[in-house]
Chains A and B, each alone.
Chain A
Amino acid sequence: MSEKNYYLPPQRILEVHNLTLSFQLYNGVNHVIRDVSFHLDKGETLAIVGESGSGKSVTTKAILGLIDENGRIERGEILFRVSDDEVLDLTKCDLDTFQKKIRGSKIAIIFQDPMTALNPTMPVGKQIMEGMLEHGKVKSKAEAKRRSLALLEEVGIDQPNKRFKQYPHQLSGGMRQRVVIAIALACEPDLLIADEPTTALDVTIQAQILDLIKDIQKRLNISIIFITHDLGVVANMADRVAVMYAGKIVEEGLADEVFYAPVHPYTWGLLSSLPSIKGTDRHIYSIPGSPPNLIFPPQGDAFAYRSEYALVADFESDPPMFEVSKTHKAATWLLDKRAPKLKMPHLLKERIEAMKKEHGSHE
């Protein structure tokens, strides 16, 4: 394979261009990711938000080259900065390159369920050491052990010496997720993908794990892609947010922009369906209908079918990404010059005002 030289701006670590990916199923081709583009700078956290089946997890799997055999990248590229002067297109990498250059050493992932993510027959310490030894980050086993113990301490596990020798079943769910995080950090990756890392945990543990991830990012200045369906989590974690629906990014912007000035009806729906902080809601809003079947993706804006604000144009052709500001984009015809000036639902507006006050008073 001839090494083609790709270009990324120096502060940038990842750029995904027009990624289109489908799975061959028995009953047709499932268009799971449709023309997705986004980018990530060094030290930045991007949250990808969306409901189940929106394609958010598959996107990150594509970055790690973990697409199942029946999946196919039809179009697009994933540019990743391996080092200051080396950029690779991950859609074109072979397995060997992934194992040796990318996985573990440059990009690491935290899986959703810590109960199943660890090998039940191997002490956790060994599982942490493995990656470092494999990628030559340490010179000896003794050094690997020292570093693993330090890592265990860093992710907030007390008595690291004791835990090091224990097996996964001897640790609680929260501790296991900390171990998974330690494994992810073992080789000091540049990019950390957190695939719903708190979904399988207790609410009390969730907050601790989120704090830990935030804290780690501050200290190590790594880039994070944070996958979640929980908007509440996003608010505290992300610099930027991308909202995915039916395999597309429908709105993308700085966290504040997406939270306080959303423009896409789907984002409105998502935000409206959050329970309010005061807990006074009699009834929580839910978006009507269910996501479309992506074996037969609908024409136009996939959300139009569930939207109270759909325009005729939304059913006819794909809305392009309209720029709201330099950093804020959304794919809805509502932003077209010709569209009627629709405002976000009144209730949501009130709520956002309340959130702003709440947030402002904290700072």
Chain B
Amino acid sequence: MVKYVLKRLFWALVTVLLILFILFLLLEFMPGSPFNEEKLTVDQIRILKEHYGLDKPFFEKFWIFLVNATKGDFGISYNLQKNMKVSQIVMPRLWVSVRLGLQAIGLGSVMGVILGVISGSNQNNWKDSVATIMAVVGVSIPSFVFALTLSFLLGYKIPIFSMIYQANHPFASTILPTISLSLFTMAQVTRFLRTELVEVMDSEYIRLATVKGLSRIKILFKHGFRNALISVVTIFGPLVVNVLTGSLVIEKIFSIPGIGGLLVLAIQSSDYNIIVMVTFIYSVLYIAVNLLVDVLYGVIDPRIRVSKGA
């Protein structure tokens, strides 16, 4: 198992490097520069570029970045907050985003598991129908539509929840965004769990558990649920991506000072270092989640544990 994880970590590192390289390449081709104030003369821009080292050849820039990045230095901001260290801008916002993401994934998974189990174990009766409809709605409605509706209804018409982010109430003011963001996760988990559970509950080993005389609850959770969970874990990677991308919009709607909104701003003003750092964080998060999923996979399914861990 340890060997397997180490191997995966190595490849994760390669992937991150590759992503950064492609990102640098794309930024190189991106029109405009961080210094696009109209008053600046060509010479002034050249001086600025020299000052920040932006005139250096592509590979040299990439190398300098890598060397600095390993020391945790992602450079400084050119535009958004001039000359401030990028990490100082990004890190406080990162925690806001991570917190929101975790809340959304947590809520979505828990709700999804509950609905999925209800739906999968009460096949084709009204409970199943309700859960299935909720799942279909959750998959079909884009999170921003849901976010706007929620914020209109529960933030404005009936002002129960806060419509915008308040730094002193980080939980209470993120209830609506959390729900909006969790909807897709919930729907997907429900759908997958239901399908899988229906299939598992029809298998021979469930029949064997039944003829052992076990109670319905034990059959469902001890024998059915865990086996059904195997396939649900696989969709966790894509779900996390969805929450990350979804958060770009949701953060905007609820004025949440997270990295999603920051990335949009940075792209608009060609603030290269911020773009790079935020993208870097996204990539690392995504790769980490996938790694975690693979490890979890082995924990849940002993067949994989043995074949890969050996």
Contact = CB atoms under 8 A, between A and B. Distances in A.
Interface of A: 64, 66, 98-100, 102-105, 107-109, 111, 113, 116-122, 130-131, 134-135, 167, 169-170, 180, 183, 186-187
Contact of A121 (B209, B214, B300): B300
B213 A135 contact: yes
Contact of B211 (A109, A120, A121, A122): A109
A180 B208 contact: yes
Interface of chain B, helix or strand or loop or mixed?
helix
Given A103-B213, A131-B213, A122 B222 contact: yes
B303 A169 contact: yes
23 contacts: A66-B211, A98-B213, A99-B210, A102-B213, A103-B210, A104-B214, A107-B211, A109-B211, A111-B207, A113-B204, A116-B204, A117-B207, A119-B227, A120-B205, A130-B222, A131-B212, A131-B213, A134-B215, A167-B302, A167-B306, A169-B302, A169-B303, A187-B213
Nearest to B209: A119
Contacts of B203: 116
Nearest to B230: A121
Contacts of B303: 120, 167, 169
Interface in B273-309: 300-303, 306
Interface in B185-215: 203-205, 207-215
Contacts of B211: 64, 66, 103-104, 107-109
Given A66-B207, A121-B301, A167-B302, A103 B212 contact: yes
Contacts of B56: none
A119 B213 contact: no
A155 to B, nearest CB: 15
B212 A117 contact: no
Contacts of B213: 98-100, 102-105, 131, 134-135, 187
B297 to A, nearest CB: 12
Given A104-B213, A109-B211, A130-B212, A117 B301 contact: no
A120 B208 contact: no
A186 B209 CA distance: 13
Interface string B207-247: 11111111110100011001100100000000000000000
Given A167-B303, A169-B302, A170-B306, A118 B215 contact: no
B302 A183 contact: no
Nearest to B205: A119
Contacts of A100: 213
A109 B211 CA distance: 7
* Most interface-central of B203, B211, B216, B223 (chain A CB within 10 A): B211
A131 B226 contact: no
A123 to B, nearest CB: 8
A132 B102 CA distance: 42
Given A108-B211, A120-B227, 10 more contacts: A64-B211, A66-B207, A103-B211, A108-B212, A111-B208, A121-B226, A121-B301, A130-B214, A134-B212, A169-B302
A91 B223 CA distance: 27
A135 B218 CA distance: 13
A95 to B, nearest CB: 8
A99 B300 CA distance: 28
Nearest to A131: B212
B215 A99 contact: yes
Contacts of B208: 111, 117-119, 180, 183
